Amino acid sequence: MVTISTEKNISIEDVRGLYDSGDSALYNNNEQLLNNILSSDFCITAWSENTLVGIIRSGGDGNNKQYISEIVMHADHPSQGVGSRLLDTYLSETADVKKIYIVSHEYFRTSFSKTWLNYKGFNLIAENDDIIVYLLDREH
């Protein structure tokens, strides 16, 4: 059973386990990554027993804009609805934020990701070879 948490009770071992399960080249300094996670405005985590299996985190200026820096899933937990539960919890926690951006370099380019994010309310607003940007605009 996977549980979702808004607490930042995360250790360096948790970070290593999650990030090393997939693209281990994503980060090479786990201590800095942990500091980045702990200093995020919003951080939602998914746990299977005592194992960190997913995270979504963002930073921004408070009520106007938030920038999702990561949605990371453990390689052993694909297509189990954990990502949707993380994003739904995040969107609930950020209900007062007017604009939420997702800025990525490659992870949200697949047809599945584009359809999923669109279903969750995000619109693709920019894409080129280097970057892809989605926006959830609650002002309209």
Query: How many domains are there within the chain?
Result: 1
Question: Tens digit of pLDDT for each residue in 53-99?
Answer: 999 999 999 789 999 988 888 888 776 788 899 999 999 999 999 99
Residues 6 or more apart whose Cβ sits within 8 Å of residue 111: none
Give 104's pLDDT tier (boundaries 50, 70, 90).
confident
Q: Which of 73-77, 101-105, 107-111 has the lowest mean pLDDT?
A: 107-111
Q: How remote is the C-alpha of 9 from its chain's centroid? A: 16
Identify the DSSP state of 110.
Answer: S
Q: What value does the mean pLDDT take over residues 10-14?
A: 93
Q: Mean pLDDT over all residues of the chain?
A: 89
The pLDDT score that the predictor gives to residue 79 is 66
Q: Which domain holds residue 19?
A: 2-137
For the chain, the first-to-last Cα distance in angstroms comes to 37
Q: What is d(CA 29, CA 36) in angstroms, rounded to the nearest whole number? A: 11
Dist. CA 94–CA 129, nearest whole Å: 30
How much helix, strand and coil, in percent to the nearest 5, is found in the chain?
25, 35, 40
Q: What is the CATH number of the domain that holds 73?
A: 3.40.630.30
Say which residue, 20 or 59, is predicted with more confidence. 59
Q: pTM of the full predicted structure? A: 0.89
**Cα angle 136, 139, 140; round to 5:** 90
User: What per-residue confidence (pLDDT) applies to 72?
Assistant: 87
